[in-house]
Amino acid sequence: MGIMKFSKKPVEPSPLTSQPPESSASDTEPPKDEADFQSVPAGTEEKGNIFDQGGKNYRTLGRWDTVLVLFTNQLGLGILSLPSTIKTLGIVPGIIAILGIGALSWYAAYELLQFYRKHPNVVSIVEMTRIVGGPWFESFAGFVMMIQVVFIVASATVTLSVALNTLSSHATCTVIWILVACIACYILSIPRTMKFVSKAGIPNAVSVVAACLIVLISLAVSGPATAPEGWHKEIKVVGNPTFRDGLNACLRVVFSYAGTFTFPSYMAEMRDPAKDFRFALAVLEIVSTLFYIAMAVALYCLAGDLTTSPVLSAASSIPAKVAYGIILPAVVATALSIGHTGCKYVYVTAMRQMRATHQVTDNSVKSWVTWILSVTGFWVLIFVISNVIPIFDSILSITAATTIPWFTYGFAAIFWLHLNKGLYFSTWQKGLLTVGNVVMIGLTLFMNAGGLWAAITELLDLFANNKDGIGGVFSCGDNSIF
């Protein structure tokens, strides 16, 4: 928590504005800001973005609201694949992977908070990239972020269709179930503030824990659904995966921490992010990492070599259906929390293009029409993508290898290097942090190259094996697990 104390040099002028170098907390004159944003008084780093000006104040998230929003964002689809990660890597390497990737994600999220405190006029991680690299970098980052948002939300929508097909024994066309899921999420996305997402925090956490416990009890009582008579489970303390399988297993862990890119959007809607976000982040990372390890190891030890992904499929038919039904709120919450970030980015970008950022928080006809159009366009795109992608797990792996590493680790390291330019080796502590952030960028590039190769080759193998009997795009075929 003492990282910010190392830097004594004023931050360089932001490409986002024409203001002079940013003042320190001891300066008396507030920096000038462009017309798009409210000016930021010196010494009040946590105030001053477009969400607390004009009409309705969007900065409504308190400390515990933020905790709930972060849990809603992180506890969802990711946990369902972690037992198979333990199966691939083995118990000890799997635990090390979850701990290591979790700790790295925690540090990267704290770096985002550092950058936000220096530039509190931003409302998303994409606007942070504009400060570092100018408009072209912001445009590129915005495009890449929307790709990530669309594929994550589409995976949640397809998961909803799988659950509905499972619960109804494929009572209707899969396209209809995807449409039902998109319409439900669309209606729930109409509110314009993030605070409504926090309302899903408790149901989200309860549904994830309950679904995992149901599968846990089912496996303990009756074993895996596909276990043959006389089956004896095989538990690996240390696995022996191929390079591709091991890398894909680690990418699944990265995906379980992939919500980091939404954190600046939550900071922008907090009443006191400088004080409360560190607390909320600590609660999130500690509790979620311990939960990931406990559930992943326990479920693997019960299912052994028959562990599946998603893990709900390992249980027998009735408990699996019950678990899918109970976890529906968590899947919906994932779609809402990630999807709302995408909708808000489109909305703010559209209002900026109309030179109407001063109306972002208004209850005017222009602001509401723009918001409704943004939400509508987003969910129409989700409906199309959800019907076009036949094997969403593999497409997600590709997304995890291309976009998630940058938004979870790479950009945070770049922001830190930007904040500390000229001070990289001013002290030995600063030197270690500099090396660490350069290594983070290197790991990001490795996940891009190696991860993309692993994900694409796995996808080609699945197509060659006609995985799950996929019938093509906009197929009415049953995509459920049974």
Q: Are the beta carbons of 336 and 191 closer than 8 angstroms?
A: no
Inform me whether the pLDDT recorded for 440 exceeds 60. Answer: yes
Inform me whether the pLDDT recorded for 438 exceeds 70. Answer: yes
Q: Is 426 within a domain?
A: no
Enter the pTM of the model. Answer: 0.78
Q: Is 404 within a domain?
A: no
Q: Is 356 within a domain?
A: yes
> pLDDT tens across 227-254, in order?
888 888 889 999 999 999 999 899 889 9
Look at residues 299, 83, 76 and name the one whose alpha carbon lies nearest to residue 207.
Answer: 76
CATH number, position 173 = 1.10.4160.10
Handedness of CA 110, 111, 117, 122 (dihedral sign): negative
Q: Is 150 within a domain?
A: yes
Residue 481 binned pLDDT confidence (cut-offs 50, 70, 90): low
Number of domains in the chain: 1
Q: Is 477 within a domain?
A: no
Q: What is the pLDDT of residue 55?
A: 45
Q: Which residues pair with 270 in a beta bridge?
A: 61
- Share the mean pLDDT of the chain: 81
CB atoms within 10 A of CB 377: 13
Q: Is 9 within a domain?
A: no
Give CA–CA dist 384/382, Å, rounded: 5
> pLDDT tens across 379-404, in order?
999 999 888 775 656 666 777 788 88
Q: Is 126 within a domain?
A: no
Q: Are the beta carbons of 258 and 404 closer than 8 angstroms?
A: yes
Supply the range of the domain harboring residue 161.
55-117+144-387
Give CA–CA dist 184/195, Å, rounded: 18
Q: Is 447 within a domain?
A: no
